[in-house]
Structure formats: C-alpha cells, structure tokens
Amino acid sequence: MFTSINKLPNPLPESDGPNPKAAQALQEGLGGQFGEMRTMMQYLFQNINFRGDAKPYQDLLRSIATEEMGHVELISNTINVLLEGSTTQADPNDLPLSIALESPNIHHFLVAGQSCRPVDAAGNPWSATYVYDSGNLVLNMLYNLMLEATGRLQKCRLYEMSDDKAYRATVSYLIVRDLAHEKVFAKALETLGVEWNKTLPVPKVDTSKMPEVRELEELNLHNQQWTMTNEQSGLSLIFNGDSPFKDGQLETLDGIPEGGPIPNLPEAPQEFSPGLDNELKSKFQNLMNKKI
Amino acid sequence: MFTSINKLPNPLPESDGPNPKAAQALQEGLGGQFGEMRTMMQYLFQNINFRGDAKPYQDLLRSIATEEMGHVELISNTINVLLEGSTTQADPNDLPLSIALESPNIHHFLVAGQSCRPVDAAGNPWSATYVYDSGNLVLNMLYNLMLEATGRLQKCRLYEMSDDKAYRATVSYLIVRDLAHEKVFAKALETLGVEWNKTLPVPKVDTSKMPEVRELEELNLHNQQWTMTNEQSGLSLIFNGDSPFKDGQLETLDGIPEGGPIPNLPEAPQEFSPGLDNELKSKFQNLMNKKI
Amino acid sequence: MFTSINKLPNPLPESDGPNPKAAQALQEGLGGQFGEMRTMMQYLFQNINFRGDAKPYQDLLRSIATEEMGHVELISNTINVLLEGSTTQADPNDLPLSIALESPNIHHFLVAGQSCRPVDAAGNPWSATYVYDSGNLVLNMLYNLMLEATGRLQKCRLYEMSDDKAYRATVSYLIVRDLAHEKVFAKALETLGVEWNKTLPVPKVDTSKMPEVRELEELNLHNQQWTMTNEQSGLSLIFNGDSPFKDGQLETLDGIPEGGPIPNLPEAPQEFSPGLDNELKSKFQNLMNKKI
Amino acid sequence: MFTSINKLPNPLPESDGPNPKAAQALQEGLGGQFGEMRTMMQYLFQNINFRGDAKPYQDLLRSIATEEMGHVELISNTINVLLEGSTTQADPNDLPLSIALESPNIHHFLVAGQSCRPVDAAGNPWSATYVYDSGNLVLNMLYNLMLEATGRLQKCRLYEMSDDKAYRATVSYLIVRDLAHEKVFAKALETLGVEWNKTLPVPKVDTSKMPEVRELEELNLHNQQWTMTNEQSGLSLIFNGDSPFKDGQLETLDGIPEGGPIPNLPEAPQEFSPGLDNELKSKFQNLMNKKI
Amino acid sequence: MFTSINKLPNPLPESDGPNPKAAQALQEGLGGQFGEMRTMMQYLFQNINFRGDAKPYQDLLRSIATEEMGHVELISNTINVLLEGSTTQADPNDLPLSIALESPNIHHFLVAGQSCRPVDAAGNPWSATYVYDSGNLVLNMLYNLMLEATGRLQKCRLYEMSDDKAYRATVSYLIVRDLAHEKVFAKALETLGVEWNKTLPVPKVDTSKMPEVRELEELNLHNQQWTMTNEQSGLSLIFNGDSPFKDGQLETLDGIPEGGPIPNLPEAPQEFSPGLDNELKSKFQNLMNKKI
Amino acid sequence: MFTSINKLPNPLPESDGPNPKAAQALQEGLGGQFGEMRTMMQYLFQNINFRGDAKPYQDLLRSIATEEMGHVELISNTINVLLEGSTTQADPNDLPLSIALESPNIHHFLVAGQSCRPVDAAGNPWSATYVYDSGNLVLNMLYNLMLEATGRLQKCRLYEMSDDKAYRATVSYLIVRDLAHEKVFAKALETLGVEWNKTLPVPKVDTSKMPEVRELEELNLHNQQWTMTNEQSGLSLIFNGDSPFKDGQLETLDGIPEGGPIPNLPEAPQEFSPGLDNELKSKFQNLMNKKI
C-alpha cells in the first residue's frame, strides 16, 4: 500500500511563459520509454515479484519505485505550467485555440484540457512492453542501472533544449536524482562483485556548465537516497560508504524529501475545463458550505 | 508524493494449489483495459490535471488513485501465489518447465520468473491509450463511474470462473471496493444534480450467492472510503450521507485500511530466479552481517 | 445489411483555401479515440451483440451506427477539401510536394494521394481497442452517453481552432448531431430511471457565440433522430417527449436526412493519383463509350 | 450515407452446438488483417478519396464496401451462435463461466458478454494500419485483388478446421463472395490491359470436395455482384462479359441480396447481460406498452 | 547466413546542409510500412518459409532480401548525413539542441544521438504486422509486385519534396532499384502466365524531369538484378529476356554492386555521443596501440 | 551491404515429430523482445549510427549483427521443422487443419502456410520499439550485455520446456552463442575499465545437466567470435585474451562458421502452399528446362 502526501518532491518555480514545445519535449520524461512512468512501474513489478531472502535489494526497489511516483507528479506538473497561458487571447476576436495547430502535440489542447498526457515527446502512448522484470537479481540490477543512465542522458539532452526556469528546475532535479539512482544500482552490483572504476557514470557531464544541477549536487543530493517509508528498510545495508563513482559519500535518509507545493491550475473556459456553469457551481458551493 | 507501507490492503489466504489458468484470468484485473493499473493511472492524471477550485473532487480522485496503487499490489501478489508451485517436478527426470507449454500465458514462465506481467488476460500489454482525462469535471466523473462499474462487472464474471481460495478472496474484495468506488463517483454526480433512482449499481448481483462478497459487505466495506493520507482531505464533503444506491450509510475514513502481510516468494532455481550462486550468496550474507 | 446513398448527410461548402493543419486537426474526428470511426464501430458491435427482448434499445443502436457511417464520409470529405490545392505550384520550378515537409501529417501527401487517413490528429492509427461493448445494457448506454459528450467536447474545441468555412460547417453539424446523440443515450437511461436535472449536457456551450451551430439548432436538429432505415424501428418508443436536457421536444424521423452532394476530387498528377497515362485513359474511355 | 436493412446477406443455419474454438478461429475473418472489417474500411476509404473522372471504378469500390458491411454482420453473428450455449451449466453447482479458462479467447466471456470482439483469431485488435489507399488506381486495384485472394485463402483454410453447420455455411458463403470480389478487381485490371490467363484465381480449389461451396457456385453466386444501392452505379460498365478466370459469365445485379434473418440472442444472466433486474424490466415494459 | 561488406550499395554524395525535415521524410523509406526494413524482412520470411521444388523463385526472394539489407544501410546513412550539422551552435551561448524543438522528430536528437530511428515519417515504429507471407507462391509474388510499386510511388513523391543532393541521390537510386524489383516480381508472374501489356509499371513517371533517375536508367540499372551471393542462384532462370514492361533487356548479374564508402560520423559532444572522456579515450588508445 | 550464403550457422537435426507447442515457444527466440530479430536490428542500427574513431567497437557491432541474421534463419527453420507433419491426416476423412484449433498459435496454420511468423511466444508482433540505440558507447555496450544475458536466460528456460531433438540442438547452440556474445560486450566494457569478478555471466548454469550445451562448450564455441566478413575487422583488438568470466581464452575467428544445410519444406496442399496446379507447374517446368 501507499499513502499520499500533498506535495511535489522538489519546489517548482514559475515558468518564463507558455511554451508548448518545451512542454512536449518534457513528455519524454513522463511517458517515454525511459521516463518516470516506466521507472515507477518497472521497479514496482520487480519489487512485487522479488524471490528469495536477499530482502535489502527488494527494499531498495520499493524505495525507488515510491520515489518515482513523486517524479511522475513533478514532471506532469511542470508540463502543465509550461502549457499554462498558451491559449490566452490577446484580442477577444482571436480564435482561442488556434495555437493548437502550431503545437507539436495538438492533443494537449484537443484531448486533454491543456494539460499533460501519458505519451512521449513524439506522441506515442506509454506501453507496458517497456517494463522489464526477468526475475533474475543481477540482470534486473544491470537493466535498472542502464535505465537510469539512459534517463539521465535524455534529461541532459533536454537540459540543452530550453532554458525556461520551471523546465530547467525540474530537468536539473531529475538529472541529479537519476544520478543518485544510477549509483543505487551500481552500488547494488558492487555489493555482488563488480568494480566500475572510471567507466561510470554515463553520461559524464561537466556540471560547471549546468549551474542548476551544480547547485543541487552541492547539497549532496546526488549521493542521497530516501527510504520513502516510515517503516524499516534494508536500503541502508546496500546504499552506504563510498559512491561507486568515487564522487562522495552515500547517505540513506529515512522518510521522504521536504518537497514543495503543488501548483493550482485555474479554470480554462476555452477548454470547457472544468466546465461548471453557474448552476453547477452553486451546487458545489452548497457542498463547501456544509463543511462546518 | 507517496510513501510506502509494507502491507497489502486485504489479507491474502493460501491458494488451493497452482493454477496458471486462473492466474492468467486475473491478469485482466491487473493489466486489462478496466484493471487496476488503469484506474490508478487514470485517477492520478485526473488529479494532477485538475482545474479550478472545486478541490474536494480533486481530493476524492487522489484518495482513490492512492488506494488503487495498493490494489495493483494485491492482485499482482494473488497472481503470483496462483502460479507458485506450478513448476515443481513430481519426478526429478521431468522437464521442469514443460507446464509452460500448456499454460495460457507462457510469458509467466519464459519472460518473467514465474510471476505476474503488466498484461491483460489475453496477453495484450497495458497501454496508456486507456487513460481518460478530458479536463471536464462532469465527464470525468461519468467516465469513472462507468469504469468502476465495468471493472466490477468483469470481477463478477471472474468470480464465476474459479473457486480457488486466494483467487476468490481477492476477487471478492475488489468486487466490494469497486462497488464503493462506483458509489464515490455516483455520489459526486449526485452532488451536481443527478438522481440515479434504481438504475445503479451495475451489475446488480445477488450477493447471497457470493458468500465471500456478502461477508465483506456485512462489514459495510461497500460504503466506506479511506482518504489514504494522514493529511486533510475534502473527500468527506462529498462522500457522506445516504448511499446513492440506497443500500446504507456512506463513511469517509481517515487513513488507510488495516491490510495484511505481503507473501514471500521462495527461490525458483528452475527459473534462475533470483539466480544467486553460492559465491554471490555469501557476498550478500556479508552485507547482512554488517547490519549490526 | 446496408445500402448506399450517394450523398453526404450535410452540405459541404467550399473551403477558404488549402489548410493542411486544419485538415490534420479534423483527423481527430475521423480516426481519433472519440471520432466517427469509433462511434460507428462501437454501436454496430453493440447492436449485433445485443441480448434479450428490449429490442427498441437495439434498434436505437442500429439507427445511430448507420448515421455514423455517413459521418465518417462527411468528415473524410471535409479533410479532403481542406487538403485540396495545397500542392499547387505557384512557380513551375517549385518542388511540388515541398509543403509536405511543413505539414503536421506528411502521410497525407506521402502515403495517401493528398487525402485523409484512418488516424487521429496526432497521427496514431485507429485501433479496435477503442470499441466498448460490455454486454450490459445500462453500462453500454452510460458509456455511449459519455462517448458522445466527449466527441462533442472535442468538436467544440476544434471549432475554436479554425474558421475555415468548410471546416466550420462540418464541425458545427457534428456538434449538433453529437448533442442529439447525447440526448438519445441520456433519454435511454431516463427510461430506466435516471433523472439528469441540470447536470447535462456536457459541455455546456453558449451557442450565441457559435453562429453556425445556432443556425442548425434553430432547425431543431439537436432534438431529432432519424431511423436511417425504410423499415420499422423501435427508436421512437424511446426517443420522444421532452428532451432530457429540457431544451425542446424530441422527434424521431423515419428515413434519412436530405443531405448534400459528395465533392469530386480532381486528378493530382504530382501525387501520381489516379496515375492513368493516356493509354490507360483511352482504355477507360472505351469502357465508358460502351455505356450506350 | 447508408441505410440499414434488418437482414443478414445469407441465411445462417443453427450451429451444431457451442464451439468457442471454432468461434475464435472465425474471428480472423472478422477482425483479422484480411478480414471483413478491413475490406469494408479499405474500400470505403478508397471510394471517398477517389480522384479523377473514371467514376465506374469509384462506384465499384462503393458497391463492395457496402457489401462488406453486411459481411461484418454475417460473420459476427456466426461467431455469436457458435458461442451460444457454451456456459450453460449441466449441474447448478458448477461454476458457470469456468469454460472461459479453457477457451482460446477468454475475452469472449470476460470482456464481452459471450459474444464477438473486434480482434483476430490470435486476439490482436483490429488496426487501421491495415487500410491501404495509395491514391493510385492501378495499385489500389492490384492490392484489392491480392486482399480478396488472401481473404479467400484464409477462408479455405478455415473451412478445413471445423465442420459445424453454421460455421461452414458462413465460411462457404464468404469463399464464394471473395471469389466474386477477386473477379471484380481482376476484371478492373483487365479493362486496363492485364491478361490473367491461368494464373488466377488463388487459391485454386477443387470445390467438388467442398459441397457447401459447390452448391452456391451452382447458383452462379461467384460471378455476380450487387450494386448495393437503389441508385445508378457504373459497376456494370466494368463487371460484365466473360469472367477473367474463364469460369462463367459475369452479372451485375441491381440492389442487394435477398438474405436471411438476424438471430436473436437470449439473455445471459451469468454474464449480467443485458443485466436488467425486475424493476428495470418493468420500466422497459411500460415503454413497450406505450407503443399503441 | 550472411557475410558483411563494408560498403553502401550506391555512393552517397555530401548533403547540401543539415535538413532535419528532409531526414524525417526519408524515415518513411527506412521504417515505413513500404520501406526497406519491411521489404528486407518480408522477402527473408518468404525465402525461409518457401515450400516445394520451384527453387528459382526461392533464390529470387533471397537475392532481393539480401539487396534490401544494403538498402536499409543506404537510407539510414542518408538520414544521418542530413541530420549532421543541425546542432552546431553559431554562437557558443546558444542552446545547442534547441533545434530539436523545431524538428518533426525530436527523437532524432533526444532518444538517438542525432541519427536515424526504426520509425516512419510520422514517427510510428516499424511493426512486424507489415510482413506478409501467405505461403502461396502466386499471392506472394502479387503482393511483392504491389509492395515494390508502392515503395516506388512513395519515393517518387519523396523526390518532389526536397532537392538536397544526398537526399536526391539515394531517393533516385531507390526509385530505379524499386523499378527493377517491380520487374522481378512482374516477370515471375509472367512466367506463370500473366501478361501485363501497358498496365505497369506504377507509377508511370516521365524521367526526363528526374535527371538523377534518368542518369541511372541510362546505365540499365532498372533492368539489372544482382544475385547478391557468390554461390549459384536460380534467379537468372526467371530474370532474363524482355522486360515485362517492354523497356529493355533484363540482366541477372552475379555477385553484388560496386557500391561506395560508408560515411564516418564525427563525435557529437552535445549529444554525449559516443561520450568517452579523456580517461576512457586513453583506454581505447591503448587498445589501438596493441594493434601492432 | 551483405552477401548471402545458402547455409544455416549450425546443423539442424530432424525433429522427433510435429510439436506446434514447442514451435510456438521458440517464437520468443525469433520475434520476442529479446529474440534474434531484435539483436540483429539493434546491432545493425548501433553499427550504422556509430560516432567517433573508436572503430573496433563499430566493427564488433557489425560482426554480431551479421551473425544474428543467420540466427534468425536458424531459429525460423527450427520452428518450421517442428510444425512439419502436424496436419498430416491419419484418416482421409479427418479435417486436415483441425489441429490448428488446439495449437497455441492458430496463425501458423491460418495466416502462414504452416510456418513461422515474426511474433513472440505469446503472439505479439515484433516491434521496432524494442531497438535501443542511445548513441552513447558505454550505454550501448551495457544494454547489449544485458540483452544477450536476457536472451540466454530465456533460452535456458526454453531448454527446460521440451526435449525434442531439433528444438534442443538450436536452443543449445543459441545458449552457447549468447554466452559468447555476452562475453563480447562484457569484454568491451572491460577494455573501458569495468571488472566483473564473479558477478557474470547471468544466468549461471550447470552445463553438466545440459549435455547438448556442454558438448558445444567443449569445442570452445562459447569463447569464439567470427568476424562474419572477408574484410579486415577491428574485432580482434577487443575480443582476445582471458574471458571476462574467467572460463577460457577468447578467440576471434576470421570469416563465418562452417554451418549446415537449410532444410527443404515439402508442398502442403492442405495449406494451398505453394498452391501451383498442374498448369502452373508445367509452366515452371518449362522454365527449368531452359536451364541448359
């Protein structure tokens, strides 16, 4: 089971303005083959189907699966704030949704009510064929290491596509967290005998050119992993000591990150969203008034 | 964000014996178009993309999305216990995995290590094209009502396909919870003006012929909804008073269900799962010994 | 069985000029998850698989399934007239199909011969996974109500994306017909006990801002349903009396709408369509001459 | 536009008994890559997107597209009668739907209410990627010829898989109609210059071993094509004279085949289909009583 | 089995400059339903599954299957050279990958490292549902003829979309080779009795307006077919004599085309491709030094 | 480019008898997510899209891509021999293809002419979404290592599902070759710094219980890699010295394996395959007679 906390894992600054193209690029991180929906589902299935008594590895999978649920929320909300304002009419005679014809994903406006969708940056719907669980511990760890490294590679590429402030904040946070997860799985394989020497991480990036990333790494965020639970976890048996990439000391932290508030999306009448007329609104208001 | 609790939402009794066919039938409830992966994802997207200030409906979506995460776990574990033991060799000269050639989903044994997969009962992988979020509040509630009713219809059909004890326990629990969720969305529409009279619920079932279901309804489980959070929730503003189907009093409960333990899956050497040889096991043992 | 009538259900005015982007947006109404191919197929399957003796509901499904076949034709032809002229070269030295590289769906020009395709506005092919038929009458009616309302929501959004005359004529006609169909299913549920009060329709639109829609509603087109057959139909037993949305009197009309002519598409030599050279043309001419 | 006739194109005899395996095999003819949904959609798109003034070919496409709509109905109904009775319990203590676990397509019982689905014989949903329309007349005719020949090949293989009476009646009818359609497209290419000599048809079958097929061919059904409309059609300009396969005289027939009645499916309470309880039934009865 | 030759089948001139839109259009020829991946796989399966003793047809399939492997390489390399240089920054302060947001396939930059992908021009991944193998010789030849003609039709349309030099060289080469393959299958059917007269080829093109195509046809490249093997082949038993389209003499050539060099792609640090830092490069250098 | 050799990479013994279930299980190795079509395509794309001057890694990819083409042929032929004889009628009155209704993949008999298909063991068509090419050298090598290990894991599971002689010969050969490929990629990573110690290979298997595998390993086949070309290759710069798994000495071999003959498939008249009647056969015979 899971319980819900009404927060995003990282604060989300305001966007510099509507940017449907950057929003669509970010969809790769949400619904792409190496995006957050996939990592969340893959680790959840590997956790559930775990065999044998090497439970700390099972706990490790559960921690990251749970963290990824929050990443799904973070990146979805970032897409939404990038879309916000894109259909505001300068002139009341303008066609309110004509921008949709110029946007890379018309479904943001036509199918959803100006919000994110479970698809990748090319518009392909997420598919469970992406989920890998072989039942073999070493193979699963190897796959997950590759998965996190690929996710981070794609986010480093995304970083270079736009410098919108909200976009960059989330992309940078995920670059750092993917690096931490890359370490979790590299460390897990290290406990079973692999020595990585200087091969990892991939990609190797010069964070002096990525100030938003650098700032987070200065907080050691790339060496930390939360248990994402109030219960005991075997994660710390694996995730401790030297980073397998020799860039700091690993820290297992109990519980969850401090996080930031979830943005509120205003009504969008041009999208008929939420679409309540005055009569329905007054019904809702009566409901609220009964609160006391 | 979400936090993890190491429990299933409902206790899972032992299965009457290996039953790969019943396991495959249950896959519909996990990875089918109207299964738990879908409800979880649909409500999560509707929660994230919610617009306007009718927040109790947003909270309602969040509560059920969170509960569905636990349902994914419950049904996955049930599939796993139904598969358990199916490749035990009576005679050591038998081919250990030949049963796979007679099973409706060979992938349980060939791709996964004798465990569940994110697919439906016909083997189709789950697809995000299933996720519906129109941005319109009334439409979303209407869709969700239909979705829960269809889920419950399919589970009532599943009930009639096998009487394995573990299978029935989970199917019956989900029949009752789907009914509760059907009510949540029917009630949400009632607060906006719809009167259902005797049209709902669908399907109409005589639970006197479904003793496992009846037992749970006697606990009023079909009229209860947890908030699935330790924080405040607007759920209770909507989910209270008479059931919209006139079969009891609705109760909003803070927090989560009591639940039951998650089963442990033994090693399956015939599946090379987890596949640790003695050398790797001793490495893992060293890790465990450092615990103190 | 069905018989063919060489007409579109509604007259199609000339387009204001080639508009491949508007054409691609309209594809959602043809091959999208809530488009005309889907409604046609869903109602056809529900009609064929109908169980029991409540035949008027089966007849109702057949009438709308048949009407939707004509909608597939109407929207396809509208896409085609929007594409027409887009590859006309201003200068004979221009690359005739270079416009394709700037169009949202290059397949209109590269795979088809400058014409519509069975895909949605994001380019995804139509899939039969969209078709819903649970076998349960109430559920099917509920789904169909939601389906028509979602179709209408999307068409209202499409209305705001372009004001091309052919585009608007078809979109407006479909907004009105989807409203009529929304009523058919709402009425069907009303006969089984539901009272909708002011919850429906969705979306609620102010048609005073949609003159093309208003004009059609003044003809009561949003309260009429044809039987689409020369035979007897039980439709009128359900579709009569007050509109379930309290906006007029329902009318069941025998037969089919008056409709308008199907446009002729000229040859497109740059597409090698139809691609007959003089020799093949003279063969065809001989054929025509034998007519007498 | 199209109008509906409440008949199947060919009479459907009673099935020899429930046969879910034969039913699933027939799904290939409904939702397979070379099945009736595909021919119907392909010819409809080719008809709508037709360019130039060689209109008899456009009429020809419309006639066959319309006939295929009836074939969709015929094969769907045949699947349904093959499924009928499969969940009748010999003993009231039996699990009513346990047969579903032994059937090749559990979705017949679990998703649909014991009825056909828009999928192929391996369970894959129908996809619009199957639809071919190149815009080029010769290519389209060539494809359609190959399509009909492949459909007929598959139906000849289906013929050899079961001898159930309803199954055989429909399969044989479609073998003969596919041969007629193969001729339509072969003849269309003949009018443009191709001479087939003895290469076609494919497959070449000895109908003396297929008595149900032979019987229909004795009625010249393999040389006839209906216009499927009450309006004028250019079909007869093409489809006349000697068969391109030298096996008789081609006949263009105005209108539609005589056909046979559509079977009624009884209620299936074990499927909750249609699922009306007494209260809902009496509401429906009131409706019927108002008829007078 | 196959052996590899480090050459492209045709020389690839330099591109006129980066052109991501033309690159994406070319993807149809690589991963489209009628592209080179498909022809290669279709002929390979038909070759492997061949039945009976008409072996020259089996050899014919093997020759073309093998040639298509080289076409996959040719078109992939052409896409790559069209993408090359597209992310070069004019100003070091520019965002290096911002061009990706303006490109029709962001995956070229985000998923791949600025290179081709196994998808079509609309971004749909290649699917094995495209592969046709009926087991019937006449049908397979008919399908293949249609397949080559459709491939050539699409390439003729591609020709008209861009005049980049590399693009045109490859498109023109494939137009000519598809015509040769169209003849191979037309000739195969001719040996079984079909006379094509003037119906083929499709499309009929005036190559005087396609100088790059004309130049290759002057070398008789449209009448030649290599065996693509050093072993004996029955191809020449079929592919000889007059062209079935009456445009020259067919020639079966032993072995493979002369071909041209495969281009080298430079490092793309902005894509982290290949992503070796100095330490990893020196490791690689050590490896190279051991060469002697 | 590639050239064709008319041989399988390994001799294929006769099958113990028709076995459609084992045939369908083997489909995973052909068209599955970790099967031979995928490895072939993945390495081909990585080879084509290779960047930079570390060419020995590019050569390595080309060698294995080429070898995998032969594996596609080997496993396809093995499926075909397992299907052979399955529709032979004991009694001439039997329905010749009724076995198809009892087989796990009816498409073997209904769509193909009793032969293999490009699908996996659950019937899902192969998809190019499987192909991974990140552009990053370390990541690609890591993925490929995991891919080969997963392929080998699945083949070890397949080994335990049937002991048919043809099935076992091919499965065992592929187990050994996958191990060799696992080493190639492990070695490639070793040259960049990784030390695997005892973590690999996965799965760890006791080949004393797999006599067919043991026999091949005694030939050192698990330590050998062919260049698959007559040209120079940098493969040997990487693939030499100690096995990264410490089980022997690596050997790079120039050229290709010795291989074995490709089986001939007889005519299958019940499948209309190849479907030539006497007239067409005599035409073919004339063709053969012209040979001299």
Q: Are F34 and F156 in contact (CB under 8 A)?
A: no
Q: Which residues contact B285 (CB under 8 A, 6 or more apart)?
A: none
Q: Which residues contact E15 (CB under 8 A, 6 or more apart)?
A: E81, E82, E84, E164, E165, E166, E167
Q: Which residues contact C220 (CB under 8 A, 6 or more apart)?
A: C248, C249, C251
Cis ω for the linkage preceding F118 (within 30 of 0) = no
Check whether C287 has a pLDDT greater than 90.
no
Token reading at A283: 């019904």
**Which residue in D82, E40, A36, D197 sits closest to B1, CA to CA?**
A36
| Bridge partners, residue C225, by sequence | C252
Nearest-angstrom CA–CA distance, F123 and E248: 45
Q: pTM surpassing 0.90?
A: yes
- pLDDT for the residue B290: 77
pLDDT digits (tens, 9 = 90+) for E15-41: 998 999 999 999 999 999 999 999 999
Nearest-angstrom CA–CA distance, C46 and C184: 15
Q: Per residue in F46-55, is it b (16+ CB within 10 Å) or e — as a string? A: bbbbbbbbbe
Mean pLDDT of E81-95: 85
Check whether E1 has a pLDDT greater than 70.
yes
* Whole-number Cα distances in Å, C214 to C155, C217, C222, C265, F17: 15, 5, 10, 30, 72
CA angle F126, F129, F133 (to 5 degrees): 120
**Which residue in C129, A36, C292, F120 sits closest to D120, CA to CA?**
C129
- pLDDT for the residue C195: 98
What is the side-by-side strand order in the sheet with F241-242?
Answer: F224-226, F249-253, F241-242
Band (pLDDT 50/70/90 cuts) for residue D93 is confident
Band (pLDDT 50/70/90 cuts) for residue D246 is very high
Band (pLDDT 50/70/90 cuts) for residue A95 is very high
* Whole-number Cα distances in Å, E158 to C161, E29, E102, E149, F87: 30, 9, 21, 14, 46
The number of C-beta contacts closer than 8 angstroms across A and C is 65
pLDDT digits (tens, 9 = 90+) for B58-93: 999 999 999 999 999 999 999 999 999 998 766 777
**Length in residues, chain D:** 292
- pLDDT for the residue B167: 98
Rg (CA), chain C: 21
Arithmetic mean of pLDDT over chain A: 96
Nearest-angstrom CA–CA distance, D118 and C126: 12
Taking CB atoms and an 8 Å limit, are D111 and B198 in contact across chains?
no
Enumerate helices (H) and strands (E) in chain C, giving the number of each: 9, 4
Q: Closest partner residue to C98 among E28, E161, E202, by Cβ?
A: E161
pLDDT digits (tens, 9 = 90+) for F68-95: 999 999 999 999 999 999 987 667 778 9
- Chain E CB contacts of F137 below 8 Å: 273-276
Taking CB atoms and an 8 Å limit, are D139 and E129 in contact across chains?
no
Q: Count of CB atoms within 10 A of residue B238's CB?
A: 23
- pLDDT for the residue B88: 77
Percent of chain F with pLDDT over 70: 99
- pLDDT for the residue D88: 77
Q: Per residue in C220-253, is it b (16+ CB within 10 Å) or e — as a string? A: ebbbbbbbbbeeebbbbbbbeeebbbeeeebebe
**Which residue in A109, B274, D252 sits closest to F202, CA to CA?**
B274
pLDDT digits (tens, 9 = 90+) for E163-181: 999 999 999 999 999 999 9
pLDDT digits (tens, 9 = 90+) for B242-286: 999 999 999 999 999 999 999 999 999 999 999 999 999 999 898
Q: Are F23 and F108 in contact (CB under 8 A)?
A: yes
Q: Which residues contact C149 (CB under 8 A, 6 or more apart)?
A: B139, B142, C178, C182, C200, C201, C202, C203
Taking CB atoms and an 8 Å limit, are D142 and E153 in contact across chains?
no
Residue F193 gets the label, from left (phi > 0), alpha (psi -120 to 50) or beta, of: left
Nearest-angstrom CA–CA distance, C261 and C10: 8
Nearest-angstrom CA–CA distance, E121 and E160: 15
Percent of chain A with pLDDT over 90: 94
Percent of chain D with pLDDT over 70: 99
Token reading at D159: 């013929």
Arithmetic mean of pLDDT over chain C: 96
User: Cβ-count burial of B123 within 10 angstroms (0-12 exposed, 13-18 middle, 19+ buried)?
Assistant: buried
ipTM of the prediction? 0.97
F contact chains, 3+ CB pairs < 8 A = A, B, D, E
Taking CB atoms and an 8 Å limit, are B199 and D97 in contact across chains?
no
Strand stretches in chain A, DSSP E? 2-4, 224-226, 241-242, 249-253
Using CA coordinates, name the residue in chain C closest to A124.
C124
Q: Per residue in E156-177, is it b (16+ CB within 10 Å) or e — as a string? A: bbbbbbbebbbbbbbbbbbbbb
DSSP string of A245-268, one letter each residue: TSSSEEEEESS----BPPPPBPPB
Task: Return the sign of the alpha-carbon dihedral for residues D28, D29, D32, D34.
Answer: positive
**Which residue in C187, C257, C258 sits closest to C227, CA to CA?**
C257
Nearest-angstrom CA–CA distance, D203 and D194: 19
- pLDDT for the residue F290: 77
Taking CB atoms and an 8 Å limit, are A76 and B230 in contact across chains?
no
Cis ω for the linkage preceding C18 (within 30 of 0) = no
DSSP 3-state assignment of A119?
A: strand
pLDDT digits (tens, 9 = 90+) for F177-233: 999 999 999 999 999 999 999 999 999 999 999 999 999 999 999 999 999 999 999
Taking CB atoms and an 8 Å limit, are A139 and B275 in contact across chains?
yes
Q: Closest partner residue to E237 among F5, F259, F291, by Cβ?
A: F291
Minimal C-alpha gap between D154 and chain F (Å): 6
Q: Are F183 and F245 in contact (CB under 8 A)?
A: yes
Q: Are C49 and C3 in contact (CB under 8 A)?
A: no
Q: Closest partner residue to A122 among E102, E123, E270, by Cβ?
A: E123
The answer to whether chain E touches chain A by having 3 or more C-beta pairs less than 8 angstroms apart is: yes
Q: Are C199 and B189 in contact (CB under 8 A)?
A: yes
The residue of F120, F127, F138 whose CB has the most chain A CBs within 10 angstroms, and thus the best one to mutate to test that interface, is: F138
DSSP at B267: P
- pLDDT for the residue C291: 64
Check whether E291 has a pLDDT greater than 80.
no
**Which residue in A195, A252, A242 sits closest to A60, CA to CA?**
A252
Q: Closest partner residue to B162 among D95, D110, D280, by Cβ?
A: D95
- pLDDT for the residue C90: 66
Band (pLDDT 50/70/90 cuts) for residue E290 is confident
Token reading at D209: 């071993």
- pLDDT for the residue D89: 65
- Chain F CB contacts of D25 below 8 Å: 100-101, 106, 110
Arithmetic mean of pLDDT over chain B: 96
Whose structure tokens read 């303006």? E102
The answer to whether chain A touches chain D by having 3 or more C-beta pairs less than 8 angstroms apart is: no
Q: Are C49 and D265 in contact (CB under 8 A)?
A: yes
Taking CB atoms and an 8 Å limit, are C28 and A123 in contact across chains?
no
pLDDT digits (tens, 9 = 90+) for B186-226: 999 999 999 999 999 999 999 999 999 999 999 999 999 99
pLDDT digits (tens, 9 = 90+) for C222-260: 999 999 999 999 999 999 999 999 999 999 999 999 999
Q: Count of CB atoms within 10 A of residue E241's CB?
A: 12
The residue of C102, C129, C160 whose CB has the most chain A CBs within 10 angstroms, and thus the best one to mutate to test that interface, is: C160
Nearest-angstrom CA–CA distance, D265 and A100: 46
DSSP string of D115-161, one letter each residue: S--SB-TTSPBPBGGG----S-HHHHHHHHHHHHHHHHHHHHHHHTT
Band (pLDDT 50/70/90 cuts) for residue E90 is low
Mean pLDDT of A250-260: 98
C contact chains, 3+ CB pairs < 8 A = A, B, D, E
Nearest-angstrom CA–CA distance, E108 and E99: 11
Taking CB atoms and an 8 Å limit, are D106 and B28 in contact across chains?
yes
Q: Are E38 and E44 in contact (CB under 8 A)?
A: no
Token reading at A213: 């990333």
